[in-house]
């Protein structure tokens, strides 16, 4: 059995390693995420994860289990994917720095290649930050890393990690891959490592 992570996300790969899945292959899905639209955050992330899986499936063998995922941030009812500009990133991060709660909505979709059986769902976690340091915000935005992350933040790195006020829900969901759903779906589909 082969485990395939259909993602270019380093945090997702790191989570799989932390959970004991040391031997997996990464296949980057080639899709235009902006072409998939839905007003409901849970539906949107599931639809994108399934589109990623569809893009990866032609490149894997029949003994593969393909994990794909997507995350978006929701702040004040507004869906926030990756920021389009530095200005937008600064605005979003300053809002987080003022204590506004951020809901991270993250999906996981796991497809068993031999029969294309697929399980997909979304999970939600909330994070609230204490005030973030201006120099840390500037360093993150100016590095360009900000453009790789939904909501213009990455919880496991600075300046965010040391300024977490509280988390509701599963930390891994906020990082980018819901642990309980992922492990349950792998088990249900018959994957063992």
87-92's contacts with Cβ under 8 Å and 24+ in sequence apart are 88/152, 89/141, 89/146, 89/147, 89/152, 90/137, 90/141, 92/151, 92/152, 92/153
Smallest CA-to-CA distance from 152 within 52, 49, 80, 69 is with 80
Q: How far apart are CA 99 and CA 128, in angstroms?
A: 6
Find tokens 């990623």 and name the residue: 52
CA 175, 180, 186, 191 torsion: positive or negative?
positive
Name residue 103's beta-bridge partners.
Answer: 74, 126
Catalytic residue among 30, 39, 63, 70, which?
Answer: 70
- 70 as an active site residue: the answer is yes
Positions annotated as catalytic residues are: 70
């Amino acid at each position: 059995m082969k485990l395939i992570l259909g993602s270019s996300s380093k945090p997702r790969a790191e989570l799989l390693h932390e959970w004991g899945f040391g031997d997996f292959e990464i296949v980057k899905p080639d899709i235009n995420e902006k072409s998939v639209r839905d007003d409901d955050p849970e539906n949107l992330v599931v639809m994108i994860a399934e589109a990623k899986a569809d893009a990866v499936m032609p490149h894997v063998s029949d003994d593969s289990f393909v994990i794909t995922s997507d995350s978006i941030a929701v702040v004040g009812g507004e869906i926030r994917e990756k920021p389009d500009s530095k200005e937008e990133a600064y605005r979003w991060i300053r809002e987080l720095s003022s204590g506004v709660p951020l809901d991270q909505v993250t999906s996981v979709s796991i497809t068993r290649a031999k029969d294309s059986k697929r399980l997909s769902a979304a999970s939600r976690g909330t994070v609230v930050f204490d005030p973030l340091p201006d120099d840390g915000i500037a360093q993150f935005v100016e590095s360009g890393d900000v453009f790789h992350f939904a909501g213009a933040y990455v919880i496991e790195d600075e300046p965010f990690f040391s300024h977490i006020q509280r988390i509701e829900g599963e930390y891994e969901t906020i990082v980018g891959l819901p642990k309980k759903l992922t492990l349950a779906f792998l088990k249900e589909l018959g994957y063992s490592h």
